[in-house]
Amino acid sequence: MSHHIVEAKNLQHVYPDGTIAIKDVSFRITHGESVAIIGANGAGKSTLLQHLNGCLIATSGQIRIGDTQLSKGTLPDIRRTVGMVFQYPDDQLFMPTVFEDVAFGPLNLGLSGEEVEQRVTEALERVGAGHLRTKPPYNLSGGEKKRVAIATVLAMSPDILVMDEPTSGLDPFARRQLISLLREFQHTKIFTSHDLDMVLDLCQRTIILHEGEIMADGPTGEIFLNEELLAACRLEKPFSMQGCPICNGKTGTKKT
């Protein structure tokens, strides 16, 4: 199933104001892999992710999804393959009701009324937002919006799932729910997160981005053991690896 491969080659993005957000980024993610892209604020994570389905066009470099090179002509196909959850759900929800919003993608895929209905119901159930379907999105709480935004993408059953900080703003229960949902998702998934415990939980592979460059790319376990590297990139070990300050008063002193 080569069409679930995501490959970036020498990607560079310069914003119109001259900010070089990412420079010379290359990686290859194969089918079924679960990859986290982590890094400090402003490291370029969101910028990088938005290249994967052509929301941003690289200043130089290439993106390849499966056998298709990303270009103007292949964009519709690629957008069908790559489902993208944006960092701010407000940007993603624009229809008058939650139902219509989740139905927007499937309708664009040309599905019939019944199928759409079924997909929407299923997607909303999976993120635990079934009760919100008749509400207008602008009246939801932040976390509810986030869940609906995730449902809008799930309803399109993408082959590759790309998420920008999926757990930010979720309550602990919804976070757990999302983590198990993501674990069930068999295809390739790529996400950024500041929730390093989730990264440890879900991803075999982690890419560290620092000031627009890849500083490390490897097995998650190894990367989180390299304290020097983490410190250099303004990161910390996941809490679950820091030892509990209450139980044994060991490390963990860095926390406030």
Partner 1 sequence: MTSIHAAVIDLKRLELLAESDSAIHVIDARAKVLVTLVFIVAVVSHNRYELARLLPFFIFPAVMIALAGLPTLYLARKIALISIFVLMVGLFNPVFDRTILYQVGQWGISGGWISLFSLLIRSMLTVGAAFILVGTTGFTAVCQALERLGIPQLFAIQLLFLHRYIFVLADEAGRSSRARELRSCGKKGLGVASFGSLVGHLLLRTWQRAERIHTAMLARGFVGQFHAHRKSRFGMAEIYFLLGWSTLFILLRAFDITETLVASMAGVLP
Ligand X SMILES: Nc1ncnc2c1ncn2[C@@H]1O[C@H](COP(=O)(O)OP(=O)(O)OP(=O)(O)O)[C@@H](O)[C@H]1O
Nearer to ligand X, 47 or 167 (CB): 47
In the list 2, 16, 17, 134, the residue contacting partner 1 (rule: CB under 8 A) is: 134
Site string for partner 1, 68-107 (x = CB under 8 A): --------x--xx---x-x-x-xxx-xxxx-xx--xxx-x
Residue ranges in the chain assigned as alpha helix (H): 45-51, 75-81, 98-108, 113-126, 142-154, 172-184, 196-202, 220-225, 227-232, 245-248
Note every long-range contact of 134-138, with CB atoms under 8 Å and residues 24 or more positions apart, other chains counting: 134/97, 134/98, 134/99, 135/97, 135/98, 136/96, 136/97, 136/98, 137/93, 137/94, 137/95, 137/97, 137/98, 137/101, 138/93
Residues that bind Mg ion (CB under 5 A): 46, 87
Compose the 150-179 pattern: x for residues touching partner 1 by CB under 8 A, - for all others. --xx--x-----------------------
Residue 27 binding target from ligand X, partner 1, Mg ion, none, CB below 5 to 8 Å by type: none
Residues forming the site for partner 1 (CB under 8 A)? 50, 53, 55, 76, 79-80, 84, 86, 88, 90-92, 94-97, 99-100, 103-105, 107-109, 113, 116, 134, 136, 138, 152-153, 156
